[in-house]
Structure 1
Amino acid sequence: MTELPAPPTREFTLDNGLKVIVREDRRKSEVGLMLSYFTGPDLECPEDFGISRILLDALLYEYDTDFLEEIGATYYSAGGDNFHLNQLLTPSNHLEFALNTLSTTMSAKLSDEMLRHTLDINILDSKEKSSFVSAVSYSPEFEALIDMGSLYYRAPEALTANLERLSLEQIRHWYQSWYAPNNAVLVVVGDIQLNEVKLLIENCFGANIRRDIPFRPFVHAPPAPGYRQMTQHLDSKYPLMLIAFNTPGLITTAGAESHRALQVLGSLLEGTIPTRLATFGKNRSKLTSTTSGYSRFSNRFIIAFYFEGDPSEAEADLLKLLEEVKREPFSAEEIEPAITKQCTEIQQRLDTLEGQSGQITALILSGQPWQLIDLKVAQLQSVTPDDVHRTANACLTRECASVAYVLPLAEKETEATKASE
């Protein structure tokens, strides 16, 4: 793998506190922008449950979607546990319009009619109980099992009840408290002149007023909640095994080294578990192993695979295999393809304007220096077999595991029919 040269990048802060990173990439006449706020469900008190999601939807009404489509721009909005981001990809000759569009999220009018409409939609959504589950989509009950003991967990019933109690004044107060320039970061990447874009950003965002941001202390979740297991009948075509290991976040570790090792370990398991499980003489196919991205608070390392036969035997087989992984380290030759795979995926993301703006934003939101964007490949290449072995032993423990046996609904219906007969 060859590290690409770092594009010219500049950082500055406006007088109102808005942090800005601009990065020059002139390969296309396009610009990728991402505006992110440090706000989300993790900052909600019980009486605020659901407000972050309402504002995530409500602020989309501030976009002139017709004109965005007319000029060929694309936009995207997403919310996480402690962030709300807005992304735009636009032709570079419409940069000023794109900046003005993003700046409206700091000065939105939020009419009663629009807020009430958004609130009603969220109440209806919160009452829907989906039975669909996959390797990356879990049931509310399994989410509750994984987050056992965490003060950040929001039970669906509590969310619905609070949404029904919310007033429009509460929603506006949350918006005014958190959607301020000194609680945001703007990343601009693309066909720009570094000196010229600063003036443009000041013109579009400078009028927004700095505000006092509320203080919310970080609360540590239990480091090892203990082994947890459940069985569910859901909308899955085949029996599905889900094993989620709670792993430390960046605040609770000395650095990001263990997270890089988990990335490599995930790729290793994807390539080796199906083959090694086959030695047990049973069908353990279509395995997916994933890790969540860097998080300030907590992470999850997920292993998911379809199985046949007794679920407790399938779980025992996998845990036996993981014990082998923890007992005997992978060799340098074995981890090299996994590292190459991770490096390739990162370089592919960084080859796009959206990928660069997203990676810079992700680093800042997780409390890391944005300059690490140009070191990500080198850092992954520095992962050693000892790093992977040490991380596997620290993270893949029974005390950190939540296990779900997800069985098809058809099996439950068959059992009910037999019982009635």
Structure 2
Amino acid sequence: MAVPESDQYPSTSSPADAKTKRAVQQVKKRMNALARRAAGLLLSTVCLPLSALAADPQPTHEFTLDNGLKVVVREDHRAPVVVSQVWYKVGSSYETPGQTGLSHALEHMMFKGSAKVGPGEASLILRDLGAEENAFTSDDYTAYYQVLARDRLGVAFELEADRMASLRLPADEFSREIEVIKEERRLRTDDNPMSKAFERFKAMAFPASGYHTPTIGWMADLERMKVEELRHWYQAWYVPNNATLVVVGDVTPDEVKTLAQRYFGPIPKRDVPPAKIPLELAEPGERLLTLHVQTQLPSVMLGFNVPGLATAEDKRSVQALRLISALLDGGYSARISEQLERGEELVSAASTNYDAYTRGDTLFMLSATPNQQKKKTVAQAEAGLWRLLEELKAKPPTAEELERIRAQVIAGVVYQRDSITSQATAIGSLETVGLSWKLMDTELADLQSVTPEDIQKAARTYFTRERLSVAHVLPEETAHE
């Protein structure tokens, strides 16, 4: 599984400057693209059975401390390196109207000092050890991580346990940091036409659940946010019995357990507020949003309200939706590329997205930019996307097409698992949204069980007008035409 980056907000509080972070994000995007291409190349040139691509599950262990902290350890002894991650079950979908952005703002303030260290000192300690560290917030979770030498794991634990137990939240630091967050929102969303359009689209597409809330928060809420609100948010959610500690790398479960007990064990558990699963209306009715923004190219977004793995009654349909996403947008031979881009020259770019690993109901999304050189319109691009969906509903894919797409998806999963950070992130996100890390080791078999008829059934069930949100994003100069 992969964690989507679109709704995640990495911290801007660590010492790395903005330029470096942008470079890191670009590298990650290029690596993801290379992974997809490598997967396709691998499977187009080497005829291997899919079972040969799946390595035996790595030794993985779990235990829970007396204070409720769950610990998952996955051994990977290829290099003397370890990744440590602490995941809290709280994100923007937990927030209420008028208090949006609390989870992300608290993530920033977690770097501003605790009982043992002052503002920024923990980051300096880790930097001097040659460690990589950062944090990110999403709809469903907030996570903090360090990648460092195996013999320095205790340092990461000590620093994380200290801020779990004794975050300071100084008012003067908050006053400065909230201005950083507001500027972050301006740069990423308010001054970014397509990001702003997607934010509005998401608010429309989730009429009933907390997923309509932007992770960074609405600007009006940031303007009136008080440090006391963050203090209450921290006290409510940042407790060991609402967290998961994930360690992957050159370690043994016994040494991790000893260190976890030493540093996290003394932190007392506390009751946490009840958290409602973000269930969405199954068929809210078709919704249309037209936005005029400062962009040169028009585009269209389609989103269908669908379940994720945590909420689906039919788990096989979730894997079918994953394969449909790849079937439509899985490279050069995928249907969007073959039919709409090269064949009809209807769109110049298009994509799909489906995140199955969410705490609540989610979206299956398609987006496209009409081919301006051929004078194609947003309405024509939308009709082209619909035609591909109707084809899936009318006729299942051939066994050969499904096997090709399935092999590509599985190869991509296996390729991604080569990274200890990706392994840790998969474990942490699964555990935090209410699933089990053990799904990592059954994921390939689940994908292999999907039949062409399952693809057709999922398309017929979920790609309906009653589940649809549509956004037409148009250049401002066309607003009065």
Number of the residue aligned with 2:14:
none
TM-superposition CA deviations, 1:260-311 (whole Å, max 9, x none): 1111101100111232236984432322112124112111111122213232
* Structure 2 residue aligned with 1:312: 379
| Per-residue deviation, 1:12 | 0.8
- Give the stretch that moved more between structures: 284-293 or 117-126: 117-126
Partner of 1:92: 150
Structure 1 distance, partners of 2:266, 2:399, is 55
Task: Report Cα offsets for 1:220-268 as digits up to 9, x if no partner.
Answer: 3211121122232334443222111121234532253222111110110
Q: TM-score normalised to the size of structure 1?
A: 0.90
In the TM superposition, residue 157 of structure 1 has moved relative to its aligned partner by 12
Cα deviation 1:100-154 (Å, max 9, x = unaligned): 22223302122122222223333455566234317xx843322222123445533
2:312 pairs, out of 253, 277, 302, with: 253
For 2:133, the equivalent position in structure 1 comes to 75
Write the distance in 2 (CA, Å) between the matches of 1:34 and 1:116: 28
Distance (whole Å) between structure 2 residues aligned to residue 219 and residue 288 of structure 1: 25
2:250 equivalent to 1:183: no
Q: Look up the equivalent residue of 2:348 and give its one-letter code.
A: S
Q: Where does residue 62 of structure 2 map in the other structure? A: 11
Distance 1:408 1:214, change over 3 A: same
- Tell me the SS of whatever aligns to 1:133: helix
Please tell me the residue identity of whatever aligns with 2:108. D
Partners of 1:259 and 1:294 within 8 A in 2: no
Residue among 151, 169, 176 paired with 1:110: 169
Among residues 350, 353, 365, which one is paired with 2:417 in the alignment?
350
Secondary structure (helix, strand or coil) at the match of 1:46 reads coil
CA contact (8 A) 1:56 1:77 kept: yes
Q: Secondary structure at the match of 2:347?
A: coil
**Is 1:264–2:323 an aligned residue pair?**
yes
Deviation at 1:30, TM superposition (A): 0.3
Aligned-partner SS, 1:207: coil
Given that 2:91 and 2:140 are in contact with CA atoms closer than 8 Å, whether structure 1 keeps it comes out as yes
Match of 2:74 in 1: 23
Aligned to 1:166: 225
Alpha-carbon distance in structure 2 between the residues aligned to 1:98 and 1:155 = 30
Does 1:130 pair with 2:181? no
CA contact (8 A) 1:151 1:221 kept: no
Against the structure 1 CA distance between its residues 241 and 25, is the aligned structure 2 distance closer, same or farther, given a 3 Å change threshold?
A: same
Q: Give the aligned CA root-mean-square deviation in angstroms.
A: 2.5
Task: Determine if contact 2:83/2:420 at 8 Å carries over to the other structure.
Answer: yes
Cα 1:45/1:240, change in 2 over 3 Å: closer
Please give the per-residue CA displacement for 1:38-80, whole angstroms capped at 9, x wherever unaligned. 1122222335322112101111335622232332211231111
Change (3 A) 1:8 1:141: closer
1:382 aligns with 449
Matched, 1:224 2:283: yes
Return closer, same or farther for 1:267/1:219 CA change in 2, 3 Å cut-off.
closer
**Greater mean alpha carbon deviation, residues 366-375 or residues 64-73:** 64-73
Match of 2:31 in 1: none
Deviation at 1:319, TM superposition (A): 1.3
- SS state of the match for residue 346, structure 2? coil
Contact 1:34 1:187 in 2 (8 A): yes
Q: TM-score, normalised by structure 2?
A: 0.79
**Structure 2 stretches of 5 or more lacking a match?**
1-49, 114-119
C-alpha distance 76-256 of structure 1, shift in aligned 2 (>3 A): farther
Answer yes or no: is 1:145 the counterpart of 2:145: no
Q: Which residue of 2 aligns with 1:214?
A: 273
Whole-angstrom distance in 2 between the partners of 1:4 and 1:224? 40
Q: Counterpart in 1 of 2:10?
A: none
AA paired with 1:146?
A: A
Change (3 A) 1:157 1:216: closer
Q: Using the alignment, how far apart are the partners of 2:135 and 2:230 within structure 1?
A: 18
The size of the alignment, in residue pairs, is 412
- Which range is displaced more, 145-154 or 180-189? 145-154
Take 2:217 and 2:103, find their aligned partners in 1: how far apart are those partners? 15
Unaligned runs of 5+ in 1: none
CA contact (8 A) 2:93 2:278 kept: no
Matched to 1:177, the amino acid is: A
Stretch of structure 1 that moved more, 252-261 or 29-38: 252-261
Q: Deviations over 1:333-392 (max 9, x none)?
A: 111121111111211221111011111112212322211211212221222112211111
